[in-house]
Each structure stands twice: as structure tokens, then as C-alpha cells.
Amino acid sequence: MAVTTRLAWLHEKTLQNHFGGKRLSLLYKGSVHGFCSGDLLDRCYNQGPTLTVIYGEHRIIGAYAEKSYQERKAASIILLALQETKISEWELGLCTPERLFCHDNVKYNSTTNFQIELRNRKVIMGSKTTEDLGLVQNCTISIQDCEVFRCEDLLDERKIKGVTELRKSLLSALRTYEPYGSLVPQIRILLLGPVGAGKSSFFNSVRSVFQGHATHQALVGTNRTGISKKYRTYFIRDGKDGQYLPFILCDSLGLGEKEGGLCRDDIFYILNGNIRDRYQFNPMESIKLSHHDYIDSPSLKDRIHCVAFVFDVNSIEHFSSQMIEKIRRLRRELINAGVVHVALLTHVDSMDLITKGDLIEIDRCVPLRSKLEEVQRKLGFALSDISVVSNYSSEWELDPVKDVLILSALRRMLWAADDFLEDLPLEKQGIKER
């Protein structure tokens, strides 16, 4: 059975970020490996920087060694006390691991001011140390458990190589993608969502990945009425060979709370392929059938094959009841019309305590998982239909971690579009029943 840490996720993220974005890999756990300094040191010698965490009845304290513990050699030690997301520090200075962990019966020395006695399940510290760590004046702490972690870079060479290879694989798969049954030359994906959710930024991000550098073709903004006033169908050229890619991203006016947003009728005209590129929306009324941008008889290639609802991950909890009902009603109508749809959460990198390492292992990230569950609960999307991305906004250099999230989300949309095409009645697929 795998040995797991007692640290709560919030405490672990606080410690990781405090030490410069480190991964904490568990080396030793007293309640599993035994409360013996010899066993601890056997597991923790020559492991690089380590963090020892002591769990008392009402507090958590720790000792950080900047370099590997080595037998009989002093290392620089920093003591810390953790309370919720606040960490207080005190520099202990140079200390051998044998003295720190009271090994070979090394007795407490008042000049040391700190010692961990595993066999006796207690920590002894001087009053000055206690005061500097912001603890209650109690110079002895009873140990409920003790854990030692190796502190590693969140993105080591092996992980970076894995991300780079995955990015290369996704790019290849999307460049060579062919819509189901070759029923259409390109998949049309409609980006739909509240004002400021990141729809235009997602298009810019997709284009940036395939161009190999940051691009900003679609205007983006933060004002309450949004920037997108026209219906845009964005064809994307591959920066590798200049050919158009097998998908089109369609951007539109954002959804408003009550008035001022995209008209409901216009949404279904877009889905049916009735609206031309660059049509200027009128928030007060839908397109007239006599308008020069209205298409009378659209073909299958003009239709929307997948809808991606785009939401700012930080705004979900602030959605009004009107916005929630509007999205749920739209979803019901899409389901009745047989239109497949997915959800895309943007700005995940702006969430509290989220690091780049978390973006590699989304499934293990507790705050992100809770956001996905909130979208499922409030809006009804299946967890498997929700993707997360970190769009490019002000960056000039591309990031392989961001690229993987963007490409993975796009791949999920194309899979959904294939489901839509496969589910079409045979006559709409151009196939005659026998």
C-alpha cells in the first residue's frame, strides 16, 4: 500500500510555494516506518534538500535542510511554523542531522535551541525559538506523527520532456485529423459564453500554438460589454506548411445577463449555418431573413458541429441565477436539437496557489476538481465534457504546458464534433438506406 502524507492539500501547496514551487516527495513517515532516528536518517541521507514536518496536537512545525543530510556533517537548517496559509520562519543555522534528530543519544543542548526526539515522541525548543516562530510559550511539543519530504523541482527534466513529447503528439494528431466520414472538409466549433469569459483569447491561443509564436488576431478586452460585436469564422493556417487546418473556430457576441447579449434566435441561426462571417449583431433583435448576411439554404459544412461553452473559472461561483438558468435552458435546447456541446474553463492559472506543476496533473489538483464539480452541479455538464486551459494573453513566448492544455481541449471538441456527425440521420450524411 502506498504511503500517503498527512498534510492537507492547502498546507502542502502553501509549503510548496513557500520554497519556490517544489514538489514534496515523501521519504519517511513515523507512523509507518517507526519513530526511530536511525530509520529516518537511513531513508533521508543524500536525498538533496529535505523538509521535516512535525504534527503536534494543535500545530504543525518543520525543519528545512537546504542541502542533503550527510553523516556527521552540518547542514543549514531553517525552522518554520505553519498556521493555515501563513508560515513563520526562524534560522537555526548549521546543525548535524545526528544532533537535530537526537541520534546516538546526542542530548539536547540549550545553544542548539531545537531538537527532535523521535523515540520519546517530542520536540524540545528554547523559549527564544518558540517566540520567533510565533508559538505559544510551550518549549515541548508532543509528536503525533513525523514526515520527511525530498524537495524537488515541480518541473524536472523528465517531466518537461514528457510534456514536450505530448505536445508534439497532439500537434501531429490535430494536423492530420479528418472529420468523421469526410462528411465536411472542416469542423466548425462555436465558442459561446458570458462576456469576458475568454472566447476570443482561446482562438488567439489556438492560433498561437499552430503558428509557433504568440498571435493576437482577435481583439480581446475586459469591459463589461465585451469586444466581439460581429460573428467571426476564423480559419487557421498551420505555421508549418501554410495549409488551412481541419477546423474553424466561430466567435460571437457574449451572453448577457438579461438584455444586451447574444439573441437566442441568433444562436440557432448560427447553429444552422444561416449567418455569414462578419455579420454585425444587434443585441435588441435577431437577424432579419432579408438581411444580406442571411444564408437561405446552408449546407452541412456551414453548420456548427460542436458548441464549446467558455467560462472564466473564477466567475462560476458568482453566476447569477439568471445566467445559470439561461445556460441550462440553452443546453436543453441544444440537446433537443441534437447539437453536441462541451465546456471550457479559462484562466485556471490565476487560481490561488495553482502552480504550473498542477496544470500537468489536473486530476490531482483539489481546487480545480472542486471547480469542475461546481460546473457539473450548477450547469449540468458531465465531468468528462469539461476541459481547462490557460490562454495566452500578454505572453510573447509559448509554454509547452499551456500548449498541451489548449491542444487537449481542442481535441476533445473535435471528438464531440465526430459524435455529432456520426449521429446524423443517413439522409443528412448523404447516404441512401438500402
Find the farthest-apart pair of alpha carbons in the chain and give their distance in angstroms, rounded.
93
Cα-Cα end-to-end distance for the chain: 58
Q: For cell 515541548, name the residue.
A: 140
Partners of 141 in the beta sheet? 123
Strand boundaries in 169-318, DSSP class E: 187-192, 232-237, 244-251, 306-312
- Domain extents in the chain: 1-56+116-153, 157-428
Partners of 233 in the beta sheet? 250
Partners of 255 in the beta sheet? 194
pTM score: 0.79
3-state SS record for 387-422: EECCCCCCCCCCCHHHHHHHHHHHHHHHHHHHHHHH
Q: What stretch of H or E contains 63?
A: strand 60-65
d(CA 10, CA 148): 18
Q: Which of helix, strand or coil describes residue 56?
A: coil
pLDDT truncated to tens, each residue of the chain (434 aa)?
678 999 988 898 889 888 887 889 999 999 999 999 999 999 999 999 999 999 998 889 999 999 999 988 999 999 999 987 889 999 988 989 999 998 766 665 555 578 999 999 999 888 888 888 888 766 788 999 999 999 988 766 777 888 999 999 999 999 999 999 999 999 999 999 998 899 999 999 999 999 999 888 776 655 444 556 889 999 999 998 999 999 999 999 888 876 667 888 999 999 999 999 999 988 888 889 989 999 999 999 999 999 999 999 999 999 999 999 999 999 999 999 899 999 999 999 888 777 777 777 777 788 888 999 999 999 999 999 999 999 998 788 899 999 999 999 999 999 999 999 999 886 666 554 43
Query: Which CATH architecture group holds 157-428?
Result: 3-Layer(aba) Sandwich (3.40)
d(CA 112, CA 99): 9
Contacts by residues 93-96 (CB-CB < 8 Å, ≥ 24 positions apart): 96/72
